[in-house]
Amino acid sequence: MARKSPKGVKEFPLTAQTARKIMSELAENHTHRIRWSKHVKQRMHERGVTTGQVMTLLKSKYSVFREGPYLDITGDWKFNLKGLAAGKVIELTIALKNHHDSPTSVLVTVWIV
């Protein structure tokens, strides 16, 4: 059975509402399209943040945008999401790639607020 690709969104500039929708869809149905940078893995280990907490933050409609989305020089949309997961307030920096066609994301860093 083939996996159905996530639907892209033709929008410029990318709004927070659309970025949240894309990330929620990736976290719910396309986790293979979420890449974990070496840096985020190191910071998660260092700061005691679990994969489950990160996924909860990505899926939550209550997480808030602290910065962005903004277009960076590589053509990715970057933003910071902040929210409560398993009793900790965490903030996550995300780079969203190819949002218009076949979205993927890279988790850049995480910290406890």
Q: What is the DSSP string of 62-75?
A: S-EEEEEEEE-TTS
Structure-token pair, residue 92: 């996550």
- pLDDT score of 3: 58
Note the pLDDT of residue 11: 84
Amino acid at 107: L
Structure tokens at 112: 């406890």
Residue 1 is predicted with a pLDDT of 39
Digit-by-digit pLDDT tens for the chain (113 residues) are 345 777 777 888 999 999 999 999 999 999 999 999 999 999 999 999 999 999 999 999 999 999 999 999 999 999 999 999 999 999 999 999 988 788 999 999 999 99
Map tokens 């979205």 to a residue: 103
- Smallest CA-to-CA distance from 97 within 14, 3, 2 is with 14
Q: Does domain 16-112 have CATH number 3.30.2310?
A: yes
Residue 105 to residues 22, 30, 46, 88, 113: CA-CA distances in angstroms? 10, 11, 22, 23, 22
